[in-house]
Amino acid sequence: MTDLSPSLGGRSALEVATEVVKQAGEVLLAHFYGEKEMRNKGQGELVTEADILSQRVIVKLLADEYPDYNFLAEESMSSDKVTGYTWLVDPLAGTNNYVFGIPFFGINIALVRDNDILMSITYDPLRDELFRAEKGKGAYLNNSPIHVSERVSLQDSLLGFDPGYDRTSGGELLKAVTGLWPEVFGLRVMGSASMALAYVASGRIDLYVRYGVQPWDIASGLLLVREAGGRVSDWQGEPANFWHTEIVAANGTLQREFLGHWKPA
């Protein structure tokens, strides 16, 4: 990857982002076990006070260190195109899991330049697991290198998916995935695209498929999976970027087998 200019404090983007997600993680943990203030953001989609507070911490700390960089963050509800150096931020990835007390959620930060993903972090504060990648430098869980699963048969593979928030397309995805049941070892509904992609990158699940994602949901995971030796494509098999709304992530062999069975509507 092209070396980035250091922050105003003289640190690398990875060092700054690591500190940022740790501080945001403390915010999420402080609110996880108590009553949560929330509102409906859309069909089946919630936002909590913790989302807002976490994003506030992230944006302030990143802006202090990189005042000339742009932001595209979930709770800003912006759909602006990314130009130049931009932070893509999801302050609480897996909000519905978080609200219902399911301990599977995280924080996403990715640094991109135009459409090129340079650095990414997905952080699970409950387990203190930090998945990180820099372009051309591999993927890591904390300080250990990670790699996607080497399984090459759907019959041996654990497939993760999420139907998303749109009832029509989500129902179609649910039917299509469960229709593959005889061909796969097992199915898991994950509840967080970014955490699922981190689990693909680390070999914990073999494949993940999802419709209805946003740039802040997947930018970090795209780099993690690719730097861990995997592939992420759209449902037609073309390489995905963070503007795609549909993704399939796995190692190359398993991805091709899956797409050969895949019959999306």
pLDDT digits (tens, 9 = 90+) for 61-90: 999 999 999 999 876 644 456 778 999 999
What average pLDDT does range 18-25 have in this prediction?
Answer: 97
Contacts for 135 with CB less than 8 Å, ≥ 6 apart: 1, 116, 117, 118, 119, 223, 227
Tokens linked to 12:
């690398």
Binning pLDDT at 50, 70 and 90, where does residue 221 land? very high
Residue 51 and residue 26 share a domain? yes
245 and 169 within one domain? yes
Same domain for 27 and 140, yes or no, is yes
* Residue at a domain's end among 94, 116, 145: 145
Going 158 to 163 to 169 to 174, the CA torsion angle's sign is: positive
Domain-located, residue 234: yes
Closest CA to 241 of 258, 221, 265, 259: 221
Q: Indicate whether 66 belongs to any domain.
A: yes
User: What one-character DSSP code corresponds to residue 154?
Assistant: G
Report the predicted TM-score, pTM, of the whole model to 2 decimal places. 0.92
Residue 230 predicted with pLDDT over 70:
yes
Question: Taking the mean position of all CA atoms in its chain, how far away is CA 83?
Answer: 20
Q: Are 211 and 190 contained in the same domain?
A: yes
Decide: 237 and 209 in contact? Cβ < 8 Å: no
Residue 2 lies in a domain: no
Q: Of 145, 164, 179, which residue is a domain's last?
A: 145
Are 160 and 250 contained in the same domain? Answer: yes
What's the CATH number where 59 sits?
Answer: 3.30.540.10
Q: CA separation (Å) from 152 to 138, 149, 170, 178, 221?
A: 22, 9, 27, 20, 21
Q: Residues 6 or more apart from 114 whose CB is under 8 A from it?
A: 82, 83, 84
Domain boundary among 89, 120, 145: 145
Average pLDDT over residues 8-31: 94
Does 1 map to a domain? no
Number of domain units in the chain:
2
- Which is it for strands 231-233 and 207-211: parallel, antiparallel or unpaired? unpaired
* 125 and 181 together in one domain: no
Domain containing residue 91:
13-145
